[in-house]
Amino acid sequence: MLMMEAYAMQKSLGEYRRVVRLARKHRRRHPAVAELAEILDVSTQDCQELLATMDAHPDWDDERIAEEIDWTD
């Protein structure tokens, strides 16, 4: 059971890294949080937290940012 849970966590982290990568790509063209959240298919609250984390830590890579966000909304 532990291996299955670890696999699920890694799969989720991969999906969240994809969201961070897309946020970096689309942020300039879609500065409105609601619009960007829709593109990323995340809640507005998650999008705001993501953008704040990206702004606060511009040197972090996508994985580090994805790990920092509480995606459990």
Phi/psi for 58 (5° steps) reads: -65, -20
SS3 breakdown of the chain: % helix, strand, coil, rounded to 5? 75, 0, 25
Whether 65 contacts 21, CB under 8 Å: no
Look up the pTM and report it.
0.79
**Domain boundaries along the sequence of the chain:** 24-73
Distance in angstroms between the alpha carbons of the first and the last residue of the chain:
25
CA distance 58 to 2: 34
Side chain identity at residue 57, one-letter code: H
Provide the residue-wise pLDDT of the chain in tens; the chain has 73 residues: 565 554 455 557 788 899 999 999 999 898 899 999 999 999 999 999 999 999 999 999 999 999 898 876 5
